[in-house]
Amino acid sequence: MKTHNSDTEAITDAVENYYFKGIYEGDVLLLGSIFYPGSFVFGDVNGQPYFKTEALYLDGVKNRQSPKDSGKPFKGEILSIKVVNSIAIAELNVKMYDFNYRDFLSFHKIDGKWLIVNKMLTNLSE
C-alpha cells in the first residue's frame, strides 16, 4: 500500500478550501467543482435515510441559509485520509447548525485532480 504525501496534501487542500469552505459559505460553484458530475450522496440524518444526486445536493446547499449567514458555529475537521494509488477516502467531522455530521468522502484522481465520487454521511447524537 503506497501513500503519497503530495496526494494527501492535495486532498487536504480540496477538503479544506473547497468542501468545507463551499459548505460554510453556501458557495455551490466552489463546492461543485470538487464533485464528479453524477456522483451520489447517501446516509442518514437523525435516523432518516438520506439519498441525493450531486446535483440535488448542491441545489439544497444553494437554497438553504449558509452556516456562515446563520451565525451558528461551524467546524470542519479532517479525521483521516487514506490514499491507495488513484483512490482515497477521507473521514471528516462537520459541526454545523445543530448537527454533528460524520462524512466519508470517496475520492478518485481523474486527469490529475482529486474529485469526490461519493459522499456518505450520518448525524451523530452528541
With 70 as the cut, is the pLDDT of residue 35 above it?
yes
Q: How many residues does the chain have?
A: 126
With 70 as the cut, is the pLDDT of residue 15 above it?
yes
pLDDT digits (tens, 9 = 90+) for 41-60: 999 988 899 999 999 999 99
pLDDT band at 22 (very low <50, low <70, confident <90, very high): very high
String of DSSP letters for 3-25 = --HHHHHHHHHHIIIIIIHHHHH
Q: What is the spatial distance between Cα 40 and Cα 74, in angstroms, rounded to a whole number?
A: 24
Share of the chain above pLDDT 70, in %: 96
Q: Please, how many CA atoms are within 13 Å of residue 35, restricted to the half-sphere of its CB?
A: 22
How confident is the model over 10-34, as a mean pLDDT? Answer: 97
With 60 as the cut, is the pLDDT of residue 26 above it?
yes
